[in-house]
Chains A and B, each alone.
Chain A
């Protein structure tokens, strides 16, 4: 990886972490547009067939506070980064034109 690409990843991760740190303070706990529409228009409920380990972006052992939310988002950012890197590395053009 070139130094420029390392810098891109560093800057990207820093920006994501800043969003993660701010999120618990600015993010709204109001229902989102879809849930709100559902409340107003329908009786359908979320089925809850699958229980995610960090549902609602909190880490259960860390409680419900902002710290828990920050850790949850930071973990998610790193998983998405790793998965994005791994999958693109596998999918990419294996025989690039020499340049």
Chain B
């Protein structure tokens, strides 16, 4: 769902760049207080992984293709959409600059859809649902919804840009990404369960419980 150069008039691109600048301001502030030494390798691996999955277009019906995004995944690992904003800004710069995937003029819009909207929808849907329906179903629904809503946001932006008619755009983008969303949900659940098993210390929700008594005892590993 990378918007290429030419699909959005430049004055609208400027608005999306302003939104990106505001999001980056808050994300850098988040990083200064919440991103510690231990999570630097995790951020690096997530950037590499998001690049890899977003570069591979899997075939879907109707003669089209699509890629999973991973915005919900990053936001859920850190329990912060700010982490997704940073990761997606970096990955989309690499994809646009070196591989011509996503226009550089549309960088602001692309980060808005996949990082900001993807991350926020994923995280807040999970937060709303994990108690009533359980953790794993909540991750699945949240990640499916994150890519679906991101795709519909693209349709709205295309309508604002005068590129697509609104209703048909919503239908096409929604249909394609409802299918890709199933793969997105599977991937997100698998990666989070794998981290939960192998490196639970990297998941923010395991850390949250411990920060309260962090001062009392310095050990993060003992409670396994």
Contact = CB atoms under 8 A, between A and B. Distances in A.
Interface in A59-99: 72-73, 75-85, 87-89, 91-94, 96-97, 99
Given A47-B4, A99-B218, A88 B40 contact: yes
Contact of A30 (B7, B64, B202): B64
A92 B60 CA distance: 39
Contacts of A88: 31, 35, 39-40, 43-44, 86
Given A9-B41, A32-B65, A73-B52, A52 B100 contact: yes
A85 B169 contact: no
A2 B32 CA distance: 21
Contacts of B99: 52, 54-57, 72, 76
Contacts of A79: 51, 94, 98
B172 A84 contact: no
Contacts of A42: 158, 163-164
B31 to A, nearest CB: 4
Nearest to B170: A37
Interface stretch (B14-22, B101-109, B126-134, B136-144): B101-109
